[in-house]
Amino acid sequence: EAQVTQNPRYLITVTGKKLTVTCSQNMNHEYMSWYRQDPGLGLRQIYYSMNVEVTDKGDVPEGYKVSRKEKRNFPLILESPSPNQTSLYFCASSLFAGGRYEQYFGPGTRLTVT
Amino acid sequence: AQKVTQAQTEISVVEKEDVTLDCVYETRDTTYYLFWYKQPPSGELVFLIRRNSFDEQNEISGRYSWNFQKSTSSFNFTITASQVVDSAVYFCALSEAYGSARQLTFGSGTQLTVLP
């Protein structure tokens, strides 16, 4: 079954305490990305990755880091979380090959930074 | 810079009515991709469709149809004979040439409520 998994699903943390949200896909997709969703603002892209060791900034990368050491994993790192990073985070993977396009999202991670 | 506008914040219809969700976009690229996504009350995101800028044919998938008009920079989504299960937030999105969701810009979403 095609799947994107994220962990944890819920996290409450304090300002400044480093955290990592993991994302893993089982479809061998090359493209992965992270989004945050905030009320009234829709979804905004944080970072994306076109393949292993290839990452680039999206619209709101400040305060976040990513890495892509393996094709299946794309963790999101908050080195020093702040309350304005309280949000709902989604990871996604996608494939575009031979005219076929597919995209799957993880279930979301609700992060609260106090 | 890319921009996607979904002017309808909330729409409410009665079951079996048709409903159209509007999406207007701005881009300087000549090659781009447009997307629609569904987010039901359970919160997950579901990809519905991707359309490239060279293909202005309307697309139909069951009760769903999409009308892409380059002349008005619009990519509207119509649900025919709506059902309660269609209640969700729907997002329109735009990406640049590669269309792999490499750099994806979303609209703010339209909350659709289908009443029984």
Q: How many CB atoms lie within 10 A of CB B28?
A: 8
When computed from its CA atoms, the radius of gyration of chain B, rounded to whole angstroms, is 14
Compute how many other C-beta atoms are within 10 angstroms of the C-beta atom of residue A16. Answer: 11
**Nearest-10 Cα torsion for A52, A57, A58, A59:** 170
Task: Please state, for a pLDDT cut of 90, what percent of chain B lies above it.
Answer: 73
> B103 and A48: CB-CB below 8 Å?
yes
Please tell me if residue A112 touches chain B, with a CB cutoff of 8 Å: no
Residue of B nearest to A45 (CA): B104
Are B108 and A103 inside 8 Å of each other by CB?
Answer: no
* DSSP codes of every residue in A70-91: STTB--EEESS--GGG-EEEEE
pLDDT band at residue A95 under the 50/70/90 scheme: confident
Identity of the residue in B44, B91, B101 whose CB atom sits nearest the CB atom of A33: B101
- Tell me the pLDDT tens digit for each residue of A49-59: 989 999 999 88
B55, two tokens:
């293909």
Neighbours of A99 (CB within 10 A): 6
* Residue keyed to tokens 């076929």: A100
**A105 at B interface, C-beta within 8 A:** yes
With a cut of 90, say whether residue B18 has pLDDT above it: yes
Contact criterion met (CB < 8 Å) for A33 and B108: no
**What tens digit of pLDDT does each residue of B91-110 get?**
999 987 654 556 788 999 99
